[in-house]
Each structure stands twice: as structure tokens, then as C-alpha cells.
């Protein structure tokens, strides 16, 4: 998932979520060079992958990096010292010339960086945790079905950020402020992935819906709700409407989708040990 966090717009070019994976250290590719520095607290938070095998992170905690590297949500990362939630780092890394830098290979490089520079050791578990089940309301779904978007060729740079008020590029989700999510030709699993991060629980799809959809969802976020995988930084804009509906009510009224509390098995990553990064 590509996440770019800017003062006014968040654009998320989504990739269908996948289960996290682990590879032994010997078989895992790594960056050729990597520089890690403490973050300037005045800078904003973002995570981007640049052309030419460059990887750049600004203002990320170790917990954020683990979630990104193993494709899990924040609440699926358990354990570790408190500083992994508070200390923020800037990272500049580059893969060697000719290395595969796409998809799973890029994730494995991030995993190597965490293991080599932060001495991260983890194991995975399946735990019985609270979750939500998502259903279609009795009135029928209000998502607008659209054709599948064309997939860009490997190595194609991401589309530019749209101006405020414009529709996001096909296959992406966009938010201009807290409590807003606008989708263009995106699948339900991608919508669920962002809702799950916002609510801090796994969401199990019980709708039976397939295909791709355009939609707009606006709600008044609770203080405990997060704003996606990397947050909104220090200058958090106000919500769409502080007196608006909760996300549960908005889902029912605007998209005819219903969330119900339940419990079930959830895969989690448990941090066994981690250290502050080694010197560059």
C-alpha cells in the first residue's frame, strides 16, 4: 500500500491486503545502504517508495514500520518496549542496482532492515480477539459498482495527487480530512482494510459483495480512532463535521453496510526483542 500524508490530502493507492509472511534471514533480500536518524518532531509523517529502488520514511515509529513490513494493522503488533510507539525515525534506503524492488521483495527488504538495524525478533500467533463482522443492511447496498480499473505496468510511477475536491485516481482511496473516505474503483477488501485500521479491530466480510466501487463516506471520528497506517502528523485537520454521525451510523446510512461486534481468531505479530537502531 502506498500512503502519502500531506497537509490537506491523503491518497492511498491500494493493493489488496495479504497475510503477513516471514522468510529466513539468509533468503531475505536487503537494502544496499540505509541511513536512520531520529525524526524532527516538526516534520510530517509519511511513507513513500521512490523510483530507482529508493525507500524513504519520515516520522515513523518502529510499530508503524513493523506493520508496513509485514502487512498487518497497528493492533496486530503486540509487545515490545514503550519506545516503539513513541520514538520516531527518518529512513533513507536504497536497493542495489538491478535488484527486484517490487511487491513482496520490497517488503522483505523492510523486514531485513528491521532485523539488521533494530535487532527485531518476532514470532506469530493466532489469538481470539474482539472483531467486527460486516453485513449488507436490509435496504440493500448503496455502493456504486464500476468496472475494474486497469493495473499500471510494473515500475510505473504513482499518479499525481488530485486537487482538493477532485475524484481520486481509479483503484485508490483518498481523504482530505479526518472522518472522510472517498473511493474510486476500489474493492471491498481495500475499503475494509482502512476501516479496520480506523476502528482498531479486524473486520470479517460477510457481505458477499464482489467487484469494484465508487463511494463517499463521511463521519465524525471518535478521539480513539486512528487515521490510517501512518496517522496525520502534528497538524491534524478538524473532522468533516464534529456533530456528524458515528462511523457505524454513517456506514448504514450512506453505504447500507452494518457492523456487528463478534470474536474470532486474529493473526498477530508478537515482538520478542527490539533495540534502538544501530549507528549508520
Give, in order, the Cα–Cα distances in Å from 27 to each of 108, 112, 125: 9, 10, 22
pLDDT for 120-140, tens place per residue?
999 999 999 999 999 999 878
| Residue 18 scores a pLDDT above 50 | no
- Name the one residue in this structure whose C-alpha cell is 485537520: 237
Q: Which residues contact 200 (CB under 8 A, 6 or more apart)?
A: 73, 74, 75, 224, 225, 226
Res 269: pLDDT: 95
Domain boundaries, the chain: 2-126, 128-265
Per-residue pLDDT band for 177 (boundaries 50, 70, 90) equals confident
| Residue 167 scores a pLDDT above 50 | yes
pLDDT for 43-91, tens place per residue?
666 666 665 667 888 889 999 999 989 988 888 999 999 999 999 999 9
pLDDT for 181-232, tens place per residue?
999 999 999 899 889 988 989 999 999 999 999 999 999 987 655 544 444 4
C-alpha to C-alpha distance for 257 and 131, rounded to whole angstroms: 16
pLDDT for 221-234, tens place per residue?
876 555 444 444 44
177 vs 52, residue with greater confidence: 177
Residue-wise over 164-194: b if at least 16 C-beta within 10 A, else e? eeeebbbbbbbbbbbbbbbbbbbbbebbbbb
Residue 148, number of CB atoms within 10 A of its CB: 11
Q: Which of 35-39, 162-166, 218-222 has the lowest mean pLDDT?
A: 162-166
DSSP one-letter code for 177: S
> How confident is the prediction for the chain on average, in pLDDT?
81
Give, in order, the Cα–Cα distances in Å from 146 to each of 46, 171, 212, 251, 268: 30, 11, 6, 19, 34
Q: Which residues contact 190 (CB under 8 A, 6 or more apart)?
A: 14, 15, 16, 17, 173, 183
Note if the pTM is more than 0.85: no
C-alpha to C-alpha distance for 40 and 25, rounded to whole angstroms: 31
| Residue 14 scores a pLDDT above 60 | no
Amino acid at each position: 500500500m502506498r500512503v502519502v500524508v500531506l497537509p490537506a490530502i491523503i491518497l492511498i493507492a491500494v493493493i489488496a491486503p495479504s497475510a503477513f509472511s516471514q522468510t529466513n534471514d539468509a533468503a531475505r533480500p536487503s537494502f544496499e545502504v540505509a541511513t536512520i536518524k531520529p525524526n524532527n518532531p516538526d516534520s510530517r509523517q509519511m511513507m513513500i517508495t521512490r523510483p530507482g529502488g529508493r525507500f524513504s520514511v519520515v516520522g515513523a515509529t518502529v510499530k508503524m514500520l513493523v506493520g508496513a513490513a509485514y502487512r498487518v494493522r497497528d493492533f496486530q503488533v503486540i509487545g515490545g518496549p514503550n519506545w516503539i510507539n513513541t520514538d520516531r525515525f527518518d529512513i533513507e534506503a536504497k536497493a542495489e542496482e538491478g535488484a527486484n524492488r517490487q511487491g513482496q521483495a520490497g517488503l522483505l527488504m523492510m523486514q531485513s532492515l528491521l532485523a539488521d538495524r533494530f535487532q527485531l525478533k518476532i514470532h506469530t500467533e493466532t489469538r481470539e480477539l474482539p472483531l467486527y463482522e460486516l453485513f449488507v443492511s436490509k435496504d440493500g447496498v448503496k455502493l456504486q459498482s464500476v468496472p475494474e480499473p486497469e493495473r499500471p505496468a510494473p515500475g510505473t510511477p504513482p499518479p499525481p495527487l488530485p486537487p482538493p475536491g477532485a475524484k481520486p485516481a481509479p483503484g485508490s482511496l483518498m481523504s482530505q480530512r479526518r472522518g472522510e473516505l472517498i473511493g474510486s474503483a476500489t474493492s471491498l477488501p481495500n475499503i475494509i482494510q482502512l476501516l479496520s485500521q480506523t476502528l482498531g479491530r479486524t473486520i470479517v466480510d460477510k457481505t458477499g459483495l464482489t467487484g469494484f466501487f465508487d463511494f463517499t463516506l463521511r463521519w465524525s471520528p471518535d478521539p480513539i480512532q486512528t487515521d490510517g497506517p501512518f496517522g496525520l502528523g502534528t497538524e491534524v485537520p478538524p473532522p468533516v463535521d464534529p456533530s456528524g454521525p458515528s462511523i457505524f451510523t454513517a456506514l448504514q446510512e450512506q453505504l447500507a453496510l452494518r457492523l456487528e461486534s463478534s470474536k474470532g481468531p486474529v493473526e498477530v505479530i508478537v515482538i520478542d526483542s527490539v533495540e534502538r537502531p544501530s549507528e549508520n
